[in-house]
Amino acid sequence: MELGFFYDRRLKTPEAIEAFTAALAADSRTARAHLELCRMYSPARQNEPANAKTHGNQALSAYRATGDRSGEAQALLCLADTLRVGNADDRQAARQNAEAARTIFEETGSSYQLPRADYYVALVEGATGNMPAAVAAFERSLVKAKAGFNTVLQPLLLMNLGVAHNALGHRGMAATYYRQSAAAYEALGDEQRAAQQQANGAAVAIEYGPEPAQGLRDVQNALAVFRKLGDKNFEVFCLQLIAAQQRFAGRHDEAQRTLNQALAISRERNLTHRIAPLTLDIAKSLIETGDDTGAKKDLLEALGDGSGPATSEIRLYLARAAVGLHDFAGAREQLDVAARDIESHGDENLAPLLHETRGELAYASGNLVEARRHFGTASALWVDDTPDAASVQARAYLGLLDGLAGKLDTGLATLRQSLDQARRMRRAVIERRIEDFQARVAPRARR
């Protein structure tokens, strides 16, 4: 057992698994070995859910048989961690396990462990897309972690608050939490978590600016750490970010190769929660290069039964592909379903894309009044120097509509503003579209 803990501290997961398995071979009654194997096989480590659930249930049974309530709670949390990345029934079971563990910690006065239960509740809420509920649970956990002097958990909570606020479109708050988390991890000397924090910060920089080049350097540095430590989950995340930067720059062949590399690792290591987002990114590249038929095929594969965490975004891009294929009824259907999902899950981060896509559908259908309304809503969500790309594109459409309606000065000024922002964000595809809009308006101004 001590050898297993030794390897675990050095993130040598296969060696730790071998040691904990040897402990069980020596004494099959060792409940702690089952608990540690559940953790080793969890999504954050080997991501082998079947093995994680098997050992988690064996640990739970063993602890209950001996009346060890603390061990029972730990086993419940490990099972919650494993089940949260499964289907809807699994996520419901994960929530129940986390709440049961919280009850045990409250009844036994375990103030140090108590915040971990709310942390796993928050992870389950995040897996279902309910980011406001996730934020509330993370904040409850942070308060309890400070009260219980759990200094190890606090930086993790700060990092996850950054992730959750970023998903809600609160990028300023996200950046603050990322910085606080980074400082806390540096104080603990945790190289792996510091790199994960660096990757999360890089994601914001690459997606929204204002320094995407620095974001790329940060993610490349983080990737080197993850490869050294064998963290395949975050290695895939970094590859996805690099592919996004390649796609934004218009280097679609490179992006496809990087995404396929990430997919290969995900399938090899059973990182099933990464597959749909990666497939979605491949489809985004196909849409930007005009292959709407291929994109639709990949998007339907990524959608599956419609229960995954990326479902709403997948539906929005299915609508975009449908617009490109002149399937306006199909696009409207996907948009309506996505709108209901976004409203029920509170995922405000997708609001600009939803309205911009509705605007493109209306524009392609010839309904310029409705198009202007939706483009205006998406454009209004551009409120700081880190707008969503959909808001930038929507404002460009407003410039085009103004220019074609004879409001030449206003239209060209709006197009110039959008083009400048697209260049700051290094979004080559949007740049080209805006330049096309300028070329359509400029002759009317005798330019």
Per-residue confidence at 346, pLDDT binned at 50, 70, 90? Answer: low
Long-range contacts from 306-311, C-beta under 8 angstroms, 24+ separation: 307/87, 307/88, 308/276, 309/126, 309/127, 309/128, 309/129, 309/273, 309/276, 310/276, 310/277, 310/280, 311/129, 311/341
Q: What is the mean pLDDT of residues 364-385?
A: 95
Q: Which residues of 141-172 are buried (b: 16+ CB within 10 A; e: fewer)?
A: bbebbeebebeebbbbbbbbbbbbbbbbbbbe
Q: What is the mean pLDDT of residues 317-334?
A: 97
Q: What is the dihedral of CA 111, 194, 129, 315, to 10 degrees?
A: -170
pLDDT at res. 321: 98
Inter-residue contact 205 to 215 (CB < 8 Å): yes
Asked if pLDDT for residue 427 goes beyond 80, the answer is: yes
Answer for the pair 429, 393: CB distance below 8 angstroms, yes or no.
Answer: no
Query: What is the topology classification, in CATH, of domain 271-346?
Result: 1.25.40
Position 340, amino acid: R
Cβ 19 vs Cβ 32: under 8 Å: no
Residue 381 has pLDDT above 90, yes or no: yes
- pLDDT-wise least confident of 23-37, 56-70, 79-93: 79-93
Q: 416 pLDDT band (50/70/90 cuts)?
A: very high
Average per-residue pLDDT for the chain: 93
159-175 pLDDT, tens per residue? 999 989 888 878 878 87
The pTM of the full predicted model, rounded to 2 decimals, is 0.75
Confirm if 311 and 300 have CB atoms less than 8 A apart. Answer: no
User: Between these two residues, 86 and 34, which has the higher pLDDT value?
Assistant: 34
- Going from N- to C-terminal start, the domains of the chain cover 271-346, 362-447
CA distance 60 to 56: 6
Confidence label for 282 from pLDDT (cuts 50, 70 and 90): very high
Whole-number Å distance between alpha carbons of 424 and 212: 8
Residues near 440 by Cβ (< 8 Å), separated by ≥ 6?
Answer: 400, 403, 404
Q: 171: Cβ–Cβ under 8 A, 6 or more apart, which residues?
A: 165, 204, 208, 384, 386
Structure tokens at 444: 């009317």
Q: How confident is the model at residue 268 (pLDDT cuts 50, 70, 90)?
A: very high
Q: Of 444 and 353, which is predicted with more confidence?
A: 353
Whether pLDDT at 439 is above 70 = yes
- Read off the pLDDT of residues 95-142 as tens digits, 9 standing for 90 and up: 999 999 999 999 999 999 999 999 999 999 988 878 899 999 999 999
For the stretch 249-263, pLDDT in tens is 999 999 999 999 999
Percent of the chain with pLDDT over 70: 99
Report DSSP letters for 293-344, one per residue: HHHHHHHHHHHTTS-STTHHHHHHHHHHHHHHTT-HHHHHHHHHHHHHHHHH
